[in-house]
Structure 1
Amino acid sequence: MEHRILKPAAVAVAFAGLSLSACQDSGLSHRSLAPVPPETLAKMAQLGTTKEAPMLIRAYKKEAELEIWKQGADGNYIHLKTFPMCRWSGQLGPKTQEGDRQVPEGFYSITPAQMNPNSSYYLSFNVGYPNQLDRALGHTGGTIMVHGACSSAGCFSMTDAQIAEIYAIARSSFDGGQRAIQMQSYPFRMTAENLAKHRLDANIGFWKNLKEGNDVFEVTKQEPQVAFCGRRYVFNATPSGAMDPVSACPPLKRDPELVASVSAKAAKDDEKIAELSQSVKPVRVVYEDGGQHPSFASKAGEASRPEALTGPTEIALEEKPARAVDKSAQQLATKSPVVTMAAAKAAAQSHEASTVVRALAPEHHREMSALADENGPTASIKKALNPKK
């Protein structure tokens, strides 16, 4: 996402309009004017940032945590606070349709116009779902908020005190001229342990794509530039042509130093994931209806649908033995593309991409590459097909 700064006067006008409409509706806008708590201001000063500096939000569903980051004088983001999440709903995985109770996952943008001082959930702001990629993929629904009241039907729900502070920090950043706040929403922290554990989940390809943006931020501590093509997110890339969310990506130019740094981190993570995969059993985690941070366990009655907060169930998944994948791979040179696709999917799950590619007939390369575009777990197959890229 391009980082642009609005003139403070323009932001003030936007907030004035919101406040006026809120006062006309129910007079609750005074909540949105609460100051940033003194202890938070003191921590900002200690970290070398200010309340007017740009901010960035990172959220993790499985851990039920929401992080606030503030930009320092050197342009890098500094972790300011982590708020335990009082309630989120649905399952791990992206939101795809209206009414699925899913908290979205992806990269979103919050502008002053999305701040709601008149929320019936104390205070709230719209995270910006659906983004351009969501819409292009046919994902429906909207009005996904970060709000108070500890009640969620697809939103990031905090306590009233928490949302008051988060709202005040965001308001101050907009007052300082920030045009849009990036929100990064993840299923879980992008650790090797989590990725190894969830390696056979149907969403793993999408999650690995999100990890690319996570890695850019972790390496640079700067806001990733977000774009869309090839039905996926691309980060910090300058295209040579038009970018369309569902069409193949045009040639992309990236900073070689950044590519090297991010690739080094990814390679180290992949090595750890492969190591853990030898001992960590793959699972699919199923929630009755989302969860909340453990710190709220003794106050479960204050949350929406407390009866659903029973903890997730882990369903063991079976990895297809490598021997079976090898046998399927050996048939690829003589079988139809249908068999090719089946073997490719099995290989993607068992991390045997190289086996498939070695036996793959040249006429099937196009089908395999297309599958790699459509199914994230087969990215390793595409890499093996194009080792020079």
Structure 2
Amino acid sequence: MFSAKIYTVFLSAILMSATAAAQMSFEETPKRLFKPVSMFAKAEDNLKDEFKEKGLEWPVKYMFVRAFKLERQLEVWVKDDYAEAFQLFKVYKVCATSGTYGPKRKEGDKQIPEGFYYINEFKPNSNYHLALGLNYPNASDAVLSDPNKPGGDIYIHGNCVTIGCLPITDSLIEQVYHMASVVKEQGQDFIPVHIFPMRYDDPESVEQFTTRTKNKPETQQFAKSIKDAYEYFEDTHQLPAVFVTDKGDYLISGNPYAPKVPRSKLVSANKPADPYAAWELEEKVDKVPFYKEGNAALQKWLFLLSQELSAKLPPNTSMSLQVEFIVDKEGTTQMATVVRGGDPKTNALIKQRFETELKWQPALKDGKPVNTKLRQNLNLAAPEDL
């Protein structure tokens, strides 16, 4: 018998009616925001073609979203009838991440949440192109997160930057946003979103997760507490019921009579080797790296580099890049890699300049220098062709 204080977070039997009150602001949004407009015309044409190729019915009736931090993937599952099993439509790349493994617990921790959520906001005029809001903090987070400042504003959005959200590229968010608006119009008020630290049945992912969290038993325990929902869906392609106890713990309940489906391995066994595998990197440090000549000098260096690179662009063009690099224990810049944007010639120049010119006071943890990884955005804009 569950406690009287247990709240139903996701219950498959009442998906269509459980959230009317919880989504009041969403329901009050003008209906026109969910109808196809000019910016979605191309997205809808592409979706129709892709659905047809995969033997799926358009317009989509039901949608489920599942995300994995380690693999940086966001899946969209669909079905045409409530009683059917979900079918995988597409796996999208999450193009930027922040934080580390484990749930979000307070404002400013940069964590992408883990657990069970639903889409509670459509934001067509987002600064990040388009955005689908998640109901963080949910019933579990309300118990376990910081009671005063748990944080919020967690979205699936475009623009490929994040401090706790799930970003994909602008063209891809147009697809996901449009599908969500279509199922909303078809009657699905409750669009569930499950976020996991990794794919639990991929040995390489499990090994990496275990290694990176070896000194974080609470993170490993939380990952274990939500694993049953992953396993049930993998076995049935149906959503389990998810409850929250008065202590904030998740309880997963599946239908024991649900038909089993064959499992398919979505992560390629030949996926590229992790370029940072040989580095012992610290994700959370007591003191972040500090540019030896001071922050003002660093900003000037970045500005001058951006100006130099902008001058090489064709007139009236712009480019947004993101550079990932390691600051090692000696304060040297290593492994500088443009992970978003650019072209081979520009990226090679950026790598050379970062690795030869940027010198740091290294990051500290427990008073000792450590290796850590940083990211830096560069926005380039060519001068107008006058």
- Coarse TM-score class (shorter-chain normalised): 0.5 to 0.7
Give the strand-richer structure, 1 or 2.
2
Equivalent residues in 2 for 1:1-389 (5 A)? Answer: 1-3=10-12, 4-5=15-16, 17-18=29-30, 34=41, 36-45=43-52, 46-73=54-81, 75-111=84-120, 114-139=121-146, 140-193=150-203, 194-199=205-210, 200=214, 202=216, 203-229=219-245, 230-236=247-253, 255-257=255-257, 286-287=282-283, 302=320, 306-307=322-323, 309-310=324-325
Structure 1 distance, partners of 2:130, 2:38, is 7
Structure 2 distance, partners of 1:211, 1:160, is 31
Residue 204 of structure 1 aligns to a residue whose secondary structure is helix
Regions of 4+ moved over 6 Å: none
- Would the aligned equivalents of 2:141 and 2:248 in 1 still touch at CA under 8 Å? no
5+ long unaligned stretches in structure 1: 23-28, 238-254, 266-280, 290-300, 314-389
Structure 1 distance, partners of 2:260, 2:238, is 14
Structure 1 distance, partners of 2:228, 2:123, is 31
Residue 302 of structure 1 aligns to a residue whose secondary structure is strand
Query: How far does residue 35 in structure 1 lie from its aligned partner after superposition?
Result: 6.1
Cα distance change on mapping 1:208 and 1:39 into 2, 3 Å: same
Query: How far does residue 236 in structure 1 lie from its aligned partner after superposition?
Result: 2.1
Residue 110 of structure 1 aligns to a residue whose secondary structure is strand
5+ long unaligned stretches in structure 2: 1-9, 18-22, 264-276, 286-318, 329-386
Cα distance change on mapping 1:227 and 1:16 into 2, 3 Å: closer
Q: Match for 1:50: what amino acid?
A: W
Cα distance change on mapping 1:136 and 1:75 into 2, 3 Å: same
Structure 2 distance, partners of 1:312, 1:80, is 39
Structure 1 distance, partners of 2:281, 2:223, is 14
% same residue: 27
Give the helix-richer structure, 1 or 2.
1
Residue 37 of structure 1 aligns to a residue whose secondary structure is helix
Q: Match for 1:166: what amino acid?
A: V
Structure 2 distance, partners of 1:220, 1:209, is 19
Structure 1 distance, partners of 2:190, 2:180, is 10
Q: Match for 2:320: what amino acid?
A: E
- Would the aligned equivalents of 1:91 and 1:286 in 2 still touch at CA under 8 Å? no
Pairs aligned (count)? 250
Q: Match for 2:79: what amino acid?
A: Q
Query: How far does residue 197 in structure 1 lie from its aligned partner after superposition?
Result: 4.0
Structure 1 distance, partners of 2:104, 2:280, is 17
- The alignment's TM-score, normalised by the length of structure 2, stands at 0.57
Show CA shifts across 1:195-234 (max 9, x none): 3443335211111112111011111101221111253211
Structure 1 distance, partners of 2:47, 2:220, is 36
Structure 1 distance, partners of 2:101, 2:119, is 22
Cα distance change on mapping 1:198 and 1:157 into 2, 3 Å: closer
- Would the aligned equivalents of 1:130 and 1:142 in 2 still touch at CA under 8 Å? yes
